[in-house]
Amino acid sequence: MQDYMELLVALSIAIVVGSGVAIWCQKHFSKLSSRVDALTVLVREADKQNEQLRQELNELRSGTIGVGRRVLELEKLIKQQQAKLEENAEQDPGARLYTRAAKMVSLGAGIDELVAECELPRAEAELLLRLHRKAS
């Protein structure tokens, strides 16, 4: 009978210890479950933000490509206009003198230099100087 009592006491102790461990495990599992839920929410929000950023990046890429094409078109037009200007300057000998005179004015030439170098009348040289000073 004493063996029976010892067995009963041992079983009671095991049940109490097992119940304590089960309660501790349940609390610990509950905390971990809450953390997992919070992390799941954070991951979902991060995925939404990631998708938004991906869409914005695609829009920026599309816009950049469009801007790049437009810049290339404008560069082409500028080159064409420059070629036309150069062609016109070469065809009109008088324009070459004024182009040269304008360059000289931008480099700081005075009226006397313009008259001597470009063979401009003094009044035209003065006018060119005044126009250049107003433009700058």
Same domain, 126 and 106: yes
Residue 20 lies in a domain: no
Q: Within this chain, do residues 79 and 97 fall inside the same structural domain, yes or no?
A: no
Considering the domain boundaries, does residue 11 fall inside one? no
Could you tell me which of 126, 125, 123, 129 has the C-alpha nearest to residue 106? 129
Residue 9 resides in a domain: no
pLDDT in tens, the chain (136 residues): 778 888 888 888 888 888 888 899 899 988 989 899 999 999 999 999 999 999 999 999 988 998 999 999 999 999 999 988 877 766 666 666 777 888 888 888 888 888 888 888 888 888 888 887 766 6
Q: Residue 119 contacts by C-beta under 8 Å, 6 or more apart in sequence?
A: 97
Instruction: Give a yes or no: residue 80 inside a domain.
Output: yes
pTM of the full predicted structure? 0.42
- Structural domain span for residue 54: 46-91
Q: Does residue 38 lie within any of the structural domains?
A: no
As for how many domains the chain has, the answer is 2
